Amino acid sequence: MKLNKHQVLYVRSMRKLLRVTAIFTDDDEANAYMTKHREEAVVAVMAPFILIADVHDHGLEVTEPV
């Protein structure tokens, strides 16, 4: 499922917040989506969810500790 501009979800990775652009629960669906959208890739897997983000997203730096 591709998220629209009003659906905002971030995942924290390597001291950055990356905006999730799509969420899937099926590997084949996620792979088909990424085949059509070469600028997007898996940023995290939190079973059963596969989170996808733009590969050019530099993220928002997080300065507070975990």
Residue at 48 is within a domain: yes
Between 64 and 34, residue with greater pLDDT: 34
3-state helix, strand, coil in the chain (%, to 5): 15, 45, 40
Closest CA to 37 of 25, 50, 24, 54: 54
Q: Do residues 44 and 14 make contact, with C-beta atoms less than 8 angstroms apart?
A: no
Residue at 51 is within a domain: yes
Task: Give the largest CA-CA distance in the chain.
Answer: 36
Residue at 57 is within a domain: yes
Residue at 35 is within a domain: yes
Residue at 16 is within a domain: yes
pLDDT tens profile 4-60: 888 899 999 888 999 999 999 999 999 999 999 999 999 999 999 999 999 999 999
The number of folded domains in the chain is 1
Residue at 14 is within a domain: yes
Residue at 32 is within a domain: yes
Residue at 66 is within a domain: no
Domain that includes residue 46, residue range:
10-61
The H or E element that residue 13 is part of is: strand 10-13
Which amino acid belongs to residue 4?
Answer: N
